[in-house]
Amino acid sequence: MQEGVMEDVIRGSQASWLKQLRTLTSRSFTNMSRDLNYYWLRIIIYIVMAICLGTIYYDVGTSYTAIQARASCGGFVSGFMTFMSIGGFPSFIEEMKVFTLERQNGHYGVAAYIISNFLSSMPFLLAVSWASASITYWMVKFRPGFSYFAFFALNLYGGVSVIESLMMIISALVPNFLMGLILGAGVIGIMMLTSGFFRLLPELPKIFWRYPVSYIVYGSWGLKGGYKNDLIGLEFEPMMPGQPKLTGEYIITEMMGLSLNHSKWLDLAMIFVLLFAYRLTFFVVLKVKEAAAPYIRVAYTRFTVKRLERRASFRKTLAMASMSKRHNPPHPMAIQEGLSSPMPY
């Protein structure tokens, strides 16, 4: 006789964490490369927008009106050009469906998924930022020098990456595409309002909007760093002829109300700190959602049952079923056939 073998249930993947990371990164990069709507179409749109921006602010110069023009160009780059990253939300929704299914089967961990997504998307986001920056920077003719251009491109890359992370958090929270777009657009709109362009940072209401909101959004850090990168060291024509020229330092401190106590590189570093914080938040959201999923299903089932019980048709169906059981009790076949003795074999 063949003996039965009891097998233990294996929870989680048997592959090492590094193997999970390599496999997920390779698969995610392949999917992003093959999907035209994931990044390639967005790269084209960014290039077109960069050309439009460059032609509008072409050779902006250092006149008095150029001060506002440079600030407006910087505000558009740190605000609206990063806002266009919301276009990747449909792909995030589909990706979250695949992740949820594979995570339930225990194929890989949450940390491996988040890091692999970041690594696989990095080349495309760098291509987006550097292609857009190279067109805009040289057409507008900001300050010459590779270090200034590199800061401009990295600043744009940081902003786009933060928005990508934000939209991934939203894709894990909302149930459908439409709600995600509405919520994402609202959150990014608040970020733009508190960045210091539409209203100067010192003029924001101190409670809540200045502290802490302006410190936890990427726009304020990106805009401050962009102003320092572009204006420090330049001189602009005065509003009235014969007056002394306006230095970039004077414009930043007196006209924009910003401080020069720290370097532009610290502003750039803070964007990447926020990027790490957003990815960490994404990790926490996925873990909490995973832990709360059984309780949510039970609560949803109870809610559905109670809602059905309140419907008249449902109550009527239950009443009819109950009456049917009372008046038509099941009988043995012998009684139903009118037989007084058991059926012969």
Is residue 224 domain-resident? yes
Q: What is the pLDDT of residue 332?
A: 52
Tell me, yes or no, whether 152 lies in a domain: yes
pLDDT of residue 303: 75
> Alpha-carbon distance 159 to 191, whole Å?
11
Of 73-82, 176-185, 270-279, which one has max mean pLDDT? Answer: 270-279
User: Is residue 55 situated within a structural domain?
Assistant: yes
- Residue 336, domain member (yes or no): no
pLDDT at 344: 45
The average confidence (pLDDT) of the chain is: 84
User: What is the count of structural domains for the chain?
Assistant: 1
Give one DSSP letter per residue of 30-98, joined into a string.
HHHHH-IIIIIHHHHHHHHHHHHHHHHTTT--SSHHHHHHHHHHHHHHHTHHHHGGGGGHHHHHHHHHH
| 88-92, 133-137, 293-297, 331-335: range with highest mean pLDDT | 133-137
Q: Tell me, yes or no, whether 308 lies in a domain.
A: no
Exposure of 36 by Cβ count < 10 A (0-12 exposed, 13-18 middle, 19+ buried)?
exposed
Average pLDDT on 115-127 reads 94
> Considering only CA atoms, which of 234, 236, 219, 232 is closest in space to residue 264?
232
Query: Phi then psi for 12, rounded to 5 degrees?
Result: 85, 170
Identify which has the larger pLDDT, 217 or 175.
Answer: 217
Indicate the pLDDT class of residue 158, thresholds 50, 70 and 90.
very high
Confidence of residue 114 (pLDDT cuts 50, 70, 90): very high
User: Is residue 323 in a domain?
Assistant: no
Determine, yes or no, domain membership for 311. no
> Which of 154, 157, 134 is closest to 264 using CA atoms?
154
The secondary structure element, H or E, covering residue 26 is helix 17-34
Question: Which residues span the domain enclosing 34?
Answer: 17-293
Do 94 and 168 touch, CB atoms closer than 8 A? no
Give the confidence band of 36 by pLDDT, cuts at 50, 70, 90.
Answer: confident
Is 338 among the domain residues?
Answer: no
